[in-house]
Every structure is written in C-alpha cells, then in structure tokens.
Chain A
Amino acid sequence: MDQKYIRNFCIIAHIDHGKSTLADRILEMTDTVKERDMKTQLLDDMELERERGITIKLNAVQLSYHAKDGHEYLFNLIDTPGHVDFSYEVSRSLAACEGAILVVDSTQGVQAQTLANTYLALDNDLEILPVINKVDMNNSQPDHTKKEIEDIIGLDCSDAPLISARTGLNVDQVLEQIVTHIPAPKGDVNAPLQALVFDSFYDPYRGVIALVRVREGKLKIGDRIRFMATGAEYEVLETGIRNPREVRVDGLSAGDVGWFAASIKSIKHVQVGDTVTTVANPASRPLEGYRKMNPMVYCGLYPSDAARYEDLHDALDKLQLNDASLQYEPETSQALGFGFRCGFLGLLHMDVIQERLEREYNLDLICTAPSVIYHVYLSDGSMIAIDNPAKMPDASRIDHVEEPYVKASIMVPDSYIGAVMELCQNKRGIYQTMEVIEAGRNTIVYELPLSEIIYDFFDRLKSCSKGYASLDYELIGYRKEDLVRMDILLNGEQVDALSVIVHRSNAYKRGSGITIRLKELIPKQQFEIPVQAAVGGKVIARTNIKSLRKNVLAKCYGGDISRKKKLLEKQKEGKKRMKEVGSVVIPQEAFMSVLSRDDEPK
C-alpha cells in the first residue's frame, strides 16, 4: 500500500482513563474484529492483564479504515500501558509511531501520567491528538478538562472529540482525525532495510518472533537478515501482521508495522531496540533505539523447590524476550540456596513478573524484599554498587553510603494536601514546592529516597487521598545518608535473605517492627525461637516465638479418618511453600515482612 494511506499511532493515557476501551471501539468500528470475537479489552491478551484491568504489554494490530475522503487507510494501532512502572513500554511503542491519541478522562482531568506520557510523546516528535473521554458520565466536565489540557500541557483542544469509549459515542471523529491529523510515515521503499525491533516473544514452534517497525526498505520472506547490534544472521521464514490474530503477508515495507519469524532459537540474538537490515544490501548504520530504562528495584527470586532452579532460569530467559527491562543474574543465598537477583522498573513490574513466572511457568517462588541500588564508598576510596543488602560490607570498611533519590510530583486536590504531605514526611521526604495548577488542584513536589517509595507508597498515596492523588517520579541522583545494614537472626542464626538497609535513625523502630511481624508470620515450632534484629553485631530488638505446645486432633475414631488425614495433608502442603532455614521453617511472606513498618497501620 502507498505510504500515504498508512497511519501508525498509539494511545497514551493515565491509568484507567479508558485507553484499552477506546482501542476496543476502534477495532470494532473499523470492522476488523467481528463482534462475536470481541472480548472486552481485546488488546489485553494476558490473563493477568484482564484480571487486573491493566495493560502491561504493548500490542500492535493492523486495521483498515474507509475514510470520508473515499480512500482506504491502513492503521497500525499500538496499545500502551498506563502505569508509571511501564513508561518504558510506552517509550518503545512511541518509537514505532508517527502520532499518539491522548485520552483524558473528563471526570478526572489531567493526571500525573497524562503529563509524563505526553512529554514522552513530544520527545519522540509525535503528533498528539487530544481526546476527551467519559463524557457520558454524570460527573463529566469536558470543558474544564479541555481547558486543563490547554493550560497545563499547552495542546490545542478546540478540535478535540468529546467521546465515550464505553458507548462508542463520537469515536468516528477520532478515526477521521487519525487520517487528517497524524502524518503518514516517510521512508524510502527502495533504500537498504532498516527495521526497528520494538518487541519480541518466544513461540515454542517457531522460535523468537520479532515485532518490527520498518523505517526504510523492504523485509521479505527468504531475505537473509542481520541484527545490527548482535550481528546474528537469519533467513526470514515468515512475515505478517496482527489484526489482532496473526496474519501472514508476503513482506513488510517502509511505514509498515508487523512481525517476522526466522527460526531464531537464541533469545540473546534479538534485542529490543536493535535494527534489522539485510545481509545483501545492508544499511550503513542502525536506527536510533529509544530511551532504555534501567531497573530501579531489585529483589532475589528463588524457587521454593531447589530442583527447579534451571526451570526458573529458562522462564526468566523467555520473559526477558518481551520484557527487555527485566534484568537478572544468578546469586546464592545461605538461607535460600540458588536463585537470581532480578531488577525491575518498579514494584508493579516486580509483582507482574513474579505472577507471570508462577502462572505461566508453574513455578513456586520465594521472593526477598525489594531493594534499591546503594552506592557504598569504602575507606580505600573505591565505590561498590549494592543491590542486595546482604552484600553490604562490614561497617569498618565503609566510609559512607549513598542512596538514590527521586523527585516525586504529586497532583492532589486541596482537601488531601495535608494527608499527602504527612505521608511524604513519614517517608523521609524533603519538601520542594507546591504549585496551584488551577483552583482546587495542586502539584506538590517532594524529594524522596527511592527506597521509601518502592514498596507501598503508591497504595498509601491512593488511600490517603481517596484515590484522587496521582504520582509521577524521576530519579535525580544519589545522596549521602546515614545508612546501616540491619541483620535478622532466627534462633541465633543470621538469615541473609532477611537483611535490610535502613536509616540509622529509624533502625530501632524498624527492628522492633520487623521482629514483631516475623513473630506473627512464622508458625510456632516445637521449640522456642528467638527473633533478633542487629546492627553491626549489636542486638537492637528482640522477641520470641513461643514453642508449639499442643498440636493433636481431639477426636479421632472410625468415621472421619479420611477427613483427618486430609487435614494433615493440607497442613503439610502449606509447609511446602515455606523454606527451612537452619532449624526454622519460614513462610514466603516473611521475606517481604521486612518492609512493613510498625509506625504505620497494617
């Protein structure tokens, strides 16, 4: 198809503003998907995405649209995630598009991620189409929302369609604007091939499938291609598009978005962000990739059953394929055995990966508490980066420690300012500024240690503002703080997987909180277990898990033997998900418990 009839675009929005719903309507109204095939949120493929109602992975589909100008247009729609953790995914989809539809919920107005994603799109030189959603709701304020977009972001909203993605109202206007407002791709069909890999996944029968945006030239079946960064060469066996099912086509040309398979067995050969060219007529240089995101949060992942270490390795390899932001390397824990230290973009990302590993790969995992990367400066002047608290060197060797800080921008209505500020103060936040965006709404800016916001900050922010506050944050660098490693001893033995790095001024409070929490979580055993928190070998908090005194069935006669036996089996099954460390059996949740604080309600 002539490039001038192609439109490549994505949809960006703050979480829950209706992005995936709009994508569904667009799919329906372009006749691409028959109504009977329609599941709600068609592009949210993963079971997990549907369940949680969030988009995690980007997804690309091709649609055809008959426009009012009488021409047939080819749309490539790329769905994107809205959660702050996944802005990385957003930046990947942006690199494959010429335009973005910005969906704003007219009952909520501009939110933190509306801004963050818009800026990302502007950075990528995309044409932005603002769309005002949920105008069918009683509390919709379309004019107000338009004004907000104009005032805060500076986008002209005079043309912005007022839609209801849910009912389909005015979505036809959006389709027309895609044609009229978003530029057609440019690129020379006859130039040497340059195709950007923006995603990939593993198919057990066909090997790695690469999703590409062809910038220049053509990609055809039979072509011998090269991944420019890795140097790997393959023969293209299949090319295709998705609508949203896979459809094979003969080839992809400049402007197209599609996929190809080349019997690629090594996951390592396909890097998201790499450029594909042909061996016969190679491009002189690769395309510029996109902003690569670095993990901010690390945790240890261990198989409950040590024999499944290789399975976990394999699963991580495969997951990394379509989630390049996931990083991992082998590590060993005295308490947990062989596992991996994994890096994630944020807590939701960590959660999602864990859940996918457990569900899709049928693994039982033990996950240690998340940690950030600390910069530890030793007395000899050298610096080591620590992503696992257990690896923090002895205090005598340390000159000082630095931890990462973020600048957090929180949008919040007047009535919740106090609550949000209190939350930030409790998290060692340093107040920066507060700006009134418009009457009744403000942006509060705090500098916060990343370690304080990785765990439950987002949830707490939502609950202390009844869901009205929204958050965006960016890393602003490292700062020197008085940080110490706190060790946890169970029955006198230090459990490396429970060590945590804390601010010295909080150590006592955290220590008591953690020991009490562990006492609640670790089941009573046949002997008394002392639980201690220690800093630099000095015990600062202690409690005891009393021994189990009675564990018998009161009655057991002829009738209910099977039921009683099942009861025992169930108890035993429960212990399978626990880890025996030394002589103490520790449940999975205990490893996360070091994060809960005694100064906050549970």
Chain B
Amino acid sequence: MTNPNKKPQALYLHVPFCRSICYYCDFVHRPYQQEAADRWLDALEYEISKKKINPDLRTVYIGGGTPTSLNEEQLARMLSLLDPCTEKAEEYTCEINPETLTAAKAELLALHGVNRASIGFQTGSDRLLKMMGRHHTAEDVKTAMELLKEAGIGNISLDLMYSLPGQTMADLKEAAEYAVSLEPKHLSLYSLTIEENTVFAKKGYRPLDEDTEADMYEYICSTLPEKGFRQYEISNFARPGYESKHNLVYWHYEDFYGLSAGASGKENHCRYDNVRSLPAYLKDPLQKEIISLGREDEMFETVMMGLRLKEGMSLSSFEERFSVSFEEAFGEKAEKLLIEGKLEIAGNQIKCADAYYHLLNSVLEELL
C-alpha cells in the first residue's frame, strides 16, 4: 500500500467558482466571473508548473465550487493543464452541476479522459431545492445524465442530502426512488450539517430532530442495498465495482495532491491547506498552511478514516505503516472496545461492528 518514498497517486483540484451559492455550502467558492476565472487559470498553471506532479496518477478528482461553471474555453484550458498527468488515471471524476452542463462541456470532459461524473442531485423535491438555494429542478438532473452518457461518461454518481429543514420522510423516499430510477452507479447521501458561515446558519435554519434524522438514515441504509447499492462507507453506496477509487484513497489514508485555492493535500507526513482566499491565491498560488503529522496523529487518523469503511481497516497495512500492531498501538482502549463488541476483527480486517456503525464517533472517542 503506502510507500512513504513514493509520490502520491491521487490528485484533487478545487475549482473555486459557482454560478450561485447553495445555502448549505461552506467550501471555498466565489460567484463566477469570466475575468477572475481567467486569472485563476493563470495561477493554476503556475502552481502546476512548480509542483512536480506524479505523471502516473491513478485517480483524479475535480471538485468545487462548480467545475462546470467555467465556460467551455476555460474548461478546456483547465483540463489541458492536467493532461500530462492524467493519462494513466483509472478513475477521473468531475463534479457536475446540472444547470451549467452543456453537451459541449460533456464532450470536452470525455475528450480529456474524464470517465466518472458526480452530480449534485441533492433532493427530488423542487420545493426543497429552492429552499436550499439550488437553481435546478429534479428533471434537470436527468437531462444532465443523458448529456454525459451521450458523451460516453456512464459512470455517474449522484449526491443526495437529507435531514433538510422541512423535509419529510415521504420527501426522502420520493428522492431516493427517483435517484435510483435514474440508474446511477453510485450514490452519496449526506445528512445536512449546518456549518458556520453558510446561508443556512445565517438564516437560523436548524436540521431535523435527531430521531427523524436517524429514521432517515435507517431507511437509506436498509433500502439502497435492496436496490443493488451496497453501502461501503458511512454515506456512500455503489453498484458492485463502482466504489469511488479516489475517495478510497482518503479512507485508506494515502497521500494525495491538493491543487488550487481551498484544496488540501497530504504528502510525506504533512497535510497542507492551500490558501482559501482567491485574491491571495492569485497573488501567490503556492501559499499554504502546513500541518506536520506526528506518528500518533497518523495512527489515530488512519483508524478514524479506515473505520468509516464498512469493511473496516486492514490490520497488516496498519502494522506495515507504523511497525506496530493496532492492538499494541491502542492497548487497553482497543481491548475494551473489542471485548464490548464495538469493534470486530475478521481475518486481516478490523471493523466497527454493524450495531455500532451508526455510532462511529462514540467509538472513535474511546480510542482518542
């Protein structure tokens, strides 16, 4: 698995522009302006030129913001900048906003090797979409999927949100059924967390009560597998073989590059957060905050990420990476959790027991 001397095999690129602001979003984003986006591309070109990126990347993920908020020319330029290192990518994902995708943009993406799309579906109800500040309808998602499939991108994931203010169980069922009927390969379902500095927080919105949220999560975790989507992570479901390879890099706690304002990366026992403000990025695209990760940090974080996977974490990889076994590293704390049956070992994997999977935070706290 991870070889510390090896260059990262994954790359994340953050596009910090949006055509409009979603009320729940706290990622780095700015309203799209053509000129600002041009200058951003100049900065990105500079950043890439200074970074000796592994030409043999295995996975690439373009997120945002809204990558498709760029115009066609800009989208082409951005993809070209990545071309030298994406040739061998097994999985090359781009986030798609249904309202800003055109046939031409879909073709461009495919031309440059993008073979997976992640669409912000959010919810099936146009009423709730409007409440969230989204400017598309449920129907637009269907259209976007058709455009992508025509361009040859059939591996499509849909992002859904639940526990939205005013959302009912019936709304969620309708959204899930509609999403499934669109036949994506992958589904991510996130319960809404209202972060500071979001429009929701400023408007004083609150998520649903804990019980309804838990009911919704239970419904999701029991229904989607019946429809052929296996749960492989807390919030992620996939048709067999369509698990996100890029996101598995995070959960396996492997290294990855982070490009552009607001992106994070992890290389060589350091995590870095690129500068968040766009003007600052344009001025100096190499500005970042670096957090060096100690052995203890890395051990805990490996577990924190690994246990998010339904199959759990590989014990041999842990031992290989840290030269100490999981049980030795976490001593009594681990023993207690194993005796209580909150953690389980099966072969080479340690996992959070199914009965406690939805309480993972409580389990992790005990390991801190």
Assess the A552–B304 pair: CB atoms within 8 A: no
Report the Cα distance A552→B266, complex, angstroms.
Answer: 23
Docked complex: B244-286 residues within 8 A CB-CB of A:
247, 249-250, 256, 258, 263-266, 271, 273
Chain B residues with CB under 8 A of A438? none
The CB with the most chain A CB atoms within 10 A, among B264, B360, B361, is that of: B361
Q: List 28 A-B contacts (CB under 8 A).
A: A526-B359, A548-B362, A549-B210, A549-B211, A550-B210, A551-B358, A551-B359, A551-B360, A551-B362, A552-B234, A552-B357, A552-B358, A552-B359, A554-B192, A554-B235, A556-B304, A556-B305, A556-B308, A557-B247, A557-B250, A558-B264, A558-B265, A559-B263, A561-B305, A565-B300, A568-B364, A569-B368, A572-B365
Docked complex: A232-273 residues within 8 A CB-CB of B:
none
Assess the B361–A551 pair: CB atoms within 8 A: yes
Docked complex: A528-581 residues within 8 A CB-CB of B:
546, 548-562, 564-565, 568-569, 571-572, 575
Contact of B361 among A552, A557, A559 (CB under 8 A): A552
Contact of A558 among B192, B193, B258 (CB under 8 A): B258
Q: Which residue of B lies closest to A549 (CB)?
A: B214
Assess the B265–A562 pair: CB atoms within 8 A: no
Assess the A568–B365 pair: CB atoms within 8 A: yes
Interface presence of B190 (CB below 8 A): yes
Assess the A548–B258 pair: CB atoms within 8 A: no
Interface presence of B183 (CB below 8 A): no
Assess the A558–B256 pair: CB atoms within 8 A: yes
Assess the B361–A571 pair: CB atoms within 8 A: yes
Assess the A565–B362 pair: CB atoms within 8 A: no
Interface presence of B191 (CB below 8 A): yes
With A526-B362, A551-B359, A568-B365 given, name 7 new contacts (CB 8 A): A526-B356, A551-B361, A552-B358, A552-B360, A556-B305, A561-B304, A568-B361
Contact of B301 among A546, A551, A554, A561 (CB under 8 A): A561
Q: Which residue of A lies closest to B352 (CB)?
A: A552
Chain B residues with CB under 8 A of A565? 297, 300-301, 304
Report the Cα distance A572→B366, complex, angstroms.
Answer: 8
Chain B residues with CB under 8 A of A558? 12, 249-250, 256, 258, 264-266
Chain A residues with CB under 8 A of B356? 526
Q: A565-B304, A571-B365 are in contact. Are A555 and B210 (CB under 8 A)?
A: no
Q: How far is the CB of A315 from chain B (nearest CB, A)?
A: 29
Chain B residues with CB under 8 A of A546? 211
Q: How far is the CB of B19 from chain A (nearest CB, A)?
A: 22
Interface presence of B171 (CB below 8 A): no
Q: A565-B300, A568-B368 are in contact. Are A553 and B264 (CB under 8 A)?
A: no
Report the 4 A-B pairs with minimum CB-CB distance, sorted nearest first.
A549-B214, A559-B264, A551-B361, A550-B214
Q: Which residue of A lies closest to B217 (CB)?
A: A550
Interface presence of B72 (CB below 8 A): no
Chain B residues with CB under 8 A of A548? 359, 362
Give the interface size class of chain A: 20 to 34
Report the Cα distance A13→B107, complex, angstroms.
Answer: 85
Chain A residues with CB under 8 A of B358? 549-552
Chain A residues with CB under 8 A of B111? none
Total chain B interface residues with beta-carbon distance under 8 A: 40
Docked complex: B309-368 residues within 8 A CB-CB of A:
356-362, 364-365, 368
Report the Cα distance A566→B266, complex, angstroms.
Answer: 18
Assess the B304–A562 pair: CB atoms within 8 A: no
The CB with the most chain B CB atoms within 10 A, among A524, A552, A555, A562, is that of: A552
Chain A residues with CB under 8 A of B301? 561, 565
Interface presence of B90 (CB below 8 A): no
Q: How far is the CB of B312 from chain A (nearest CB, A)?
A: 15
Q: Which residue of B lies closest to A546 (CB)?
A: B211
Contact of B359 among A550, A561, A571 (CB under 8 A): A550
Report the Cα distance A568→B304, complex, angstroms.
Answer: 10
Chain A residues with CB under 8 A of B359? 526, 548, 550-552
Chain A contact residues, majority secondary structure: loop
Q: A550-B213, A551-B359, A565-B301 are in contact. Are A559 and B368 (CB under 8 A)?
A: no
Chain A residues with CB under 8 A of B273? 559
Q: A559-B273, A565-B304 are in contact. Are A554 and B364 (CB under 8 A)?
A: no
Assess the A554–B191 pair: CB atoms within 8 A: yes
Report the Cα distance A407→B169, complex, angstroms.
Answer: 59
Chain B residues with CB under 8 A of A555? 190, 193, 235
Residues of A within 8 A of B (CB): 524, 526, 546, 548-562, 564-565, 568-569, 571-572, 575
Docked complex: B213-238 residues within 8 A CB-CB of A:
213-214, 217, 234-235
Q: How far is the CB of A134 from chain B (nearest CB, A)?
A: 42
Report the Cα distance A355→B249, complex, angstroms.
Answer: 49
Chain A residues with CB under 8 A of B308? 556
Interface presence of B291 (CB below 8 A): yes
Q: How far is the CB of A572 from chain B (nearest CB, A)?
A: 5
Docked complex: B164-223 residues within 8 A CB-CB of A:
190-193, 210-211, 213-214, 217
Chain B residues with CB under 8 A of A560? 264
Chain A residues with CB under 8 A of B247? 557
Report the Cα distance A340→B301, complex, angstroms.
Answer: 41
The CB with the most chain B CB atoms within 10 A, among A555, A558, A562, is that of: A558
Report the Cα distance A556→B136, complex, angstroms.
Answer: 26
Q: Which residue of A lies closest to B247 (CB)?
A: A557
The CB with the most chain B CB atoms within 10 A, among A549, A551, A559, A560, is that of: A559
Report the Cα distance A553→B358, complex, angstroms.
Answer: 9
Report the Cα distance A555→B291, complex, angstroms.
Answer: 21
Q: A549-B358, A552-B359, A561-B271 are in contact. Are A572 and B256 (CB under 8 A)?
A: no
Chain B residues with CB under 8 A of A564? 304
Report the Cα distance A562→B300, complex, angstroms.
Answer: 11
Report the Cα distance A553→B297, complex, angstroms.
Answer: 18
Report the Cα distance A203→B217, complex, angstroms.
Answer: 60
The CB with the most chain A CB atoms within 10 A, among B12, B190, B364, is that of: B364
Report the Cα distance A328→B256, complex, angstroms.
Answer: 60
Report the Cα distance A457→B170, complex, angstroms.
Answer: 50
Chain A residues with CB under 8 A of B258? 558-559
Q: How far is the CB of B267 from chain A (nearest CB, A)?
A: 11
Chain A residues with CB under 8 A of B256? 558
Q: Which residue of A lies closest to B365 (CB)?
A: A572
Q: A550-B210, A564-B304 are in contact. Are A575 and B234 (CB under 8 A)?
A: no
Chain B residues with CB under 8 A of A524? 210
Report the Cα distance A559→B308, complex, angstroms.
Answer: 15
The CB with the most chain B CB atoms within 10 A, among A546, A550, A564, A568, is that of: A550
Chain B residues with CB under 8 A of A549? 210-211, 214, 358
Q: Which residue of A lies closest to B262 (CB)?
A: A559
Assess the B305–A553 pair: CB atoms within 8 A: no
Q: A548-B362, A556-B308 are in contact. Are A572 and B214 (CB under 8 A)?
A: no
Report the Cα distance A269→B116, complex, angstroms.
Answer: 82
Chain A residues with CB under 8 A of B213? 550
Q: Which residue of B lies closest to A575 (CB)?
A: B365
Q: Which residue of A lies closest to B161 (CB)?
A: A554
Q: A562-B271, A568-B368, A575-B365 are in contact. Are A554 and B263 (CB under 8 A)?
A: no
Q: Which residue of A lies closest to B10 (CB)?
A: A558
Assess the A572–B265 pair: CB atoms within 8 A: no
Q: How far is the CB of A525 from chain B (nearest CB, A)?
A: 8
Report the Cα distance A239→B170, complex, angstroms.
Answer: 82
Q: Which residue of A lies closest to B356 (CB)?
A: A526
Report the Cα distance A554→B216, complex, angstroms.
Answer: 13
The CB with the most chain B CB atoms within 10 A, among A553, A557, A571, is that of: A557
Report the Cα distance A548→B300, complex, angstroms.
Answer: 24
Chain B residues with CB under 8 A of A571? 361, 365
Report the Cα distance A557→B300, complex, angstroms.
Answer: 15
Q: Which residue of A lies closest to B266 (CB)?
A: A558
Chain A residues with CB under 8 A of B250? 556-558
Report the Cα distance A557→B266, complex, angstroms.
Answer: 12
Q: How far is the CB of B364 from chain A (nearest CB, A)?
A: 6
Chain A residues with CB under 8 A of B263? 559
Assess the A553–B214 pair: CB atoms within 8 A: no
Chain A residues with CB under 8 A of B304? 556, 561, 564-565, 568
